[in-house]
Amino acid sequence: MNDRAEKRRVLTAEDLTYIGQRLRILDPYGGVKPWDRDRLWAAVLDVQLEAETRADRETFRELVGALRVLDVLDRHFLRK
C-alpha cells in the first residue's frame, strides 16, 4: 500500500448515521439509523410524489441537497 492510500481518511456507516442524525431535516425519514442510503432516498422521493404546495417542493429540494452531500461522503470516504 502506498503512503497516499494509508493517509486517506475513511468513514464508517456509523459515522454517516451520526452525520445524518445531526441533520435535523432528515429526522422524519427512515434510513438514517441504521444508515441505509437506498431507503433514505426512497423516503425523500416519496416527499416529491406527495408534494402539493410550494413549501413541500422546497422541502424536497433541501432534502435532495442534503442527500447529495451525504452521497459524496459515502462515495469518497466510506470504508467499503
Quickly count helices (H) and strands (E) in the chain.
4, 0
6 part of a folded domain: no
pTM higher than 0.85, yes or no? no
The predicted pLDDT at position 1 comes to: 47
20 part of a folded domain: yes
The predicted pLDDT at position 11 comes to: 87
Supply the range of the domain harboring residue 23.
Answer: 13-77
Beta bridge partners of 11: 78
5 part of a folded domain: no
Are the C-beta atoms of 48 and 60 separated by less than 8 Å? yes
Per-residue pLDDT reduced to its tens digit, 31-49: 888 888 899 999 999 999 9
The total of other beta-carbon atoms located within 10 Å of residue 58's CB is 11
71 part of a folded domain: yes
**Residue whose C-alpha cell reads 492510500 in the numeric block:** 5
How many domains is the chain built from?
A: 1
